[in-house]
Copies of this chain bind each other. A is one copy, B any other.
């Protein structure tokens, strides 16, 4: 899946900013790819882009309209369908992370066929993958893992990409989730792949590369999550991670969506090394990324100092303090 850039961000008429979370993620990390935002009357979200019409977006060079909003129930309102059809007629491709497939809506499928435009449903994967080979391939790979789902695994790799590129390293974000695919313009929502092909899809996401190149692979789920650990393990095996960063949210009491308690950071380090060594015996932890949003400044600093001390590895909050300490550890363990 390769999505043509730049994007027009479609925000519809959603009722709050949270509903535009996906769009905001794209704007945060790829501002240069966003020529503007299209908002319908009544829209309460704002990604801080210039408000433009489809026509203006086309003139600004937009190639794809990204429907980066989630509405209640995941259905596509009639009046959004009309806007999508207009975009296709004006020569844009359309990409969404909605639960409903664009080509399951006859008006949209017809318009796309008539105008030769592409429809990208990033929540689905129709691609045929090979099963995982398990053979080591050239290039360096870092994977984020977590004590739970939704603890900052995507944010952390994107922050690492920014910092590593700023330091002159050859590094690229590899998306494995729907928002990530829109941010990257490429990738696969790995939880949407047929189970037999999880590790094969992970190998496809991060193919053989230059020996000094870092693929920074967005992690998914947790080896300790009873709903999703299979995805996490297949991704770990396919990624053949040389390095990993543990992501953690210190105030969470139970794992997302279930009653299970969170594992400790040390348990995640140990289990990731144990399982990851099947396809890369040299796998090593290079840091801990903590989402300290719920902690005060002093408390966050104390917490990070304690985690650093306990594990002998840099612990930081990528949003609050950046990821420079983790990049330093990467360069220590993997010299340029």
* A230, B227: Cβ atoms closer than 8 Å: no
Interface size on A, residues (CB 8 A): 34
Cβ-neighbour of A131 out of B194, B196, B227 (below 8 A): B227
Instruction: Say how far A183's CB is from chain B's closest CB, in angstroms.
Output: 20
Cβ-neighbour of A278 out of B198, B226, B259 (below 8 A): B226
* B257, A199: Cβ atoms closer than 8 Å: no
Mark contacts of A132-157 with chain B using CB atoms, 8 A cut-off: 1 yes-contact digit, 0 otherwise.
11110000000000000000000000
* A131, B257: Cβ atoms closer than 8 Å: yes
* A226, B133: Cβ atoms closer than 8 Å: yes
Most buried by B among A194, A224, A229, A258: A229
Task: Determine whether A193 belongs to the interface, using a CB cutoff of 8 Å to chain B.
Answer: yes
Q: Do A196 and B191 contact each other (CB < 8 Å), given the known contacts A237-B230, A278-B226?
A: yes
* B195, A234: Cβ atoms closer than 8 Å: yes
Task: Determine whether A109 belongs to the interface, using a CB cutoff of 8 Å to chain B.
Answer: no
Question: How many angstroms from the CA of A257 to the CA of B133 in the assembled complex?
Answer: 8
List the B residue with the shortest CB-CB distance to A238: B226
Task: Determine whether A200 belongs to the interface, using a CB cutoff of 8 Å to chain B.
Answer: yes
Most buried by B among A135, A233, A279: A233
* B194, A258: Cβ atoms closer than 8 Å: no
Instruction: Say how far A59's CB is from chain B's closest CB, in angstroms.
Output: 40
* A228, B131: Cβ atoms closer than 8 Å: yes
Task: Determine whether A158 belongs to the interface, using a CB cutoff of 8 Å to chain B.
Answer: no
Question: How many angstroms from the CA of A130 to the CA of B4 in the assembled complex?
Answer: 34
* B199, A230: Cβ atoms closer than 8 Å: yes
* B278, A195: Cβ atoms closer than 8 Å: no
* B229, A135: Cβ atoms closer than 8 Å: no
Chain B residues with CB under 8 A of A235: 230
Chain B residues with CB under 8 A of A133: 226-227, 258
Chain B residues with CB under 8 A of A135: 258-259
Chain B residues with CB under 8 A of A279: 226
Q: Do A199 and B134 contact each other (CB < 8 Å), given the known contacts A191-B194, A193-B194, A194-B194?
A: no
